[in-house]
């Protein structure tokens, strides 16, 4: 099984995505400590599920930018489901005080934004994610 994951990670047919999702009702809860834990979780999920997180940042304490490379066998719907589902559950376990600041205890909005990235605009997306302002 490990050989298949390695093949897909180095394959030229991988698909690149820029994905953005936000905290429910845009509550400003993603402080530096939460962001560090969230970054670790996202990298761990990617390693376990067979895709690569090239860049990940929390912006303005209420939404996440993610640049993903994945094999075609993984749909973006499943990738986002893994990222939002697992991180939401584990963040609320690790930081139970967050639940009190959310409506009905739900962390992430149900929606997300996704675009596929071609080779021409890949550098633009990287620069966009790297240069987002942070406010803690």
Give CA–CA dist 8/59, Å, rounded: 30
Question: What's the mean per-residue pLDDT of the chain?
Answer: 85
Give CA–CA dist 128/39, Å, rounded: 18
**Tens digit of each residue's pLDDT (9 = 90 or more) over 29-42:** 999 999 999 999 99
Cβ neighbours around 87 below 10 Å, total: 22
User: E-assigned strands of the chain?
Assistant: 15-22, 52-59, 63-70, 113-117
Over range 116-133, report the average pLDDT.
Answer: 70
**DSSP helix/strand/coil, 30:** coil
Residue range 2-130 forms a domain whose CATH class is: alpha beta
pLDDT at 121: 66
pLDDT above 80: residue 133 = no
Please give the structure tokens belonging to residue 25: 């009702």
Q: Where are the domains of the chain?
A: 2-130
**Tens digit of each residue's pLDDT (9 = 90 or more) over 38-63:** 999 999 999 999 999 999 999 888 99
Cβ neighbours around 29 below 10 Å, total: 19
**Tens digit of each residue's pLDDT (9 = 90 or more) over 53-89:** 999 999 888 999 999 999 999 999 999 999 999 999 9
């Amino acid at each position: 099984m490990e050989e298949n994951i390695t093949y897909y990670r180095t394959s030229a047919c991988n698909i690149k995505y820029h994905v953005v999702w936000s905290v429910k009702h845009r509550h400003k809860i993603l402080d530096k400590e939460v962001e560090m834990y969230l970054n670790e979780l996202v990298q761990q999920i990617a390693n376990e599920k067979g895709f690569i997180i090239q860049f990940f940042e929390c912006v303005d304490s209420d939404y996440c930018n993610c640049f993903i490379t994945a094999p075609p066998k993984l749909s973006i719907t499943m990738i986002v489901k893994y990222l939002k589902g697992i991180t939401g559950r584990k963040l609320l376990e690790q930081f139970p005080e967050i639940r009190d600041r959310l409506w009905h205890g739900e962390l992430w909005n149900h929606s997300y934004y996704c675009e596929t990235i071609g080779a021409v605009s890949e550098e633009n997306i990287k620069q966009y994610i790297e240069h987002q302002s942070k406010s803690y």
